[in-house]
Amino acid sequence: MKNLIAISCLLFCAASVSAQDATAKPAGPRDLFNTYKSDNVSSPASSAAAKPTAGRPGARVRVELDRDGRARFVSTRTVFRAGDKVRFHFAMNFPGYVVVINQGSSGTRSLLFPYKGVSNRIGRTADYTVPQGDGWFEFDDTPGTEQLTFIMSKREIEEVTQITTGSHGSSQVAAPSHPASEHPVPAPAPATPTAAPTPAPAPAPAATPAQTEEQEILAALNSRSLTRGRDLKMVEQETDAYVLTSDEALAKPVGFKLTLTHR
């Protein structure tokens, strides 16, 4: 009889554990981000022998807002207004490479990260800010959207190396200077004064060949990375936004877009 009671207790406990497992909630993005171990897949051989993990590689992005002198983290879906100041915090749960590209309302792209003179290789879970230091981006009175592309990879991103090392663009040859003549030509007699015409507005300075090529490089990198990351989804948990992917995808640059609206 005692043996029967003991067996019944064991069966009941096993059934309770199974029921708890069946009703357990799936891991959220924060758990998947925090539990990923990058050394689980350091090579094909170790990947086959590694124990399965619930974690996934990816990035965490946070938006810090300074409104009326009060700074706080807010949702990426926040509608911003003129005078608001923002900066971005991002981290990855694997050592790799990151690029942040901003596209303004004019369509011109600029490289926000890596900072000038700084490598775009970052460590696991380190917190980086854009802009660096105590800088902020401030919204002006013109309503619109700001689009930022975050690009991540486990391998070096060659396009960024081209831009940061100045290995793109053709060198320009300075126009030769002509020495002044030893016998200058006399100045012509002054003409009869007339009404001065209204000066035309100064044209915008033309982009140099190097600047044009840099825009082409950023546009191509932006397009390719977003195409590879077209299936990525940003999931917010409180004020943290997570984008998770796979180790296979990170063999090449993959990107996701963050769009901020201001009115």
Give the pLDDT confidence of 109-132 residue by residue, as tens digits. Answer: 889 999 877 889 998 877 899 998
Give 9-59 pLDDT, tens digit per residue. Answer: 444 554 554 545 445 566 799 999 999 987 544 444 444 445 555 799 999
Using CA atoms, how far apart are residues 104 and 261, in angstroms rounded to an integer?
A: 12
Residue 154 has pLDDT above 90, yes or no: yes
| HEC readout, 143-164 | CEEEEEEEEEECCCCHHHHHHH
Give the range with max mean pLDDT: 50-54, 144-148, 241-245.
241-245
| Helix, coil or strand: residue 20 | helix
Residue 172 confidence (pLDDT) above 50: no
Helix (H) or strand (E) holding 34: helix 29-35
DSSP label of 188: P
Q: What is the pLDDT of residues 52-105, one digit of tens each?
A: 557 999 999 999 999 999 999 999 999 999 999 999 999 999 999 999 999 877
Question: Exposed, middle or buried by CB within 10 Å (0-12, 13-18, 19+), for 66?
Answer: middle
Does residue 192 or residue 65 have the better pLDDT?
65
pLDDT band of residue 160 (cuts 50, 70, 90) is confident
User: Taking all residues of the chain, what is their mean pLDDT, rounded to a whole number?
Assistant: 78
Distance, first Cα to last Cα, the chain: 77
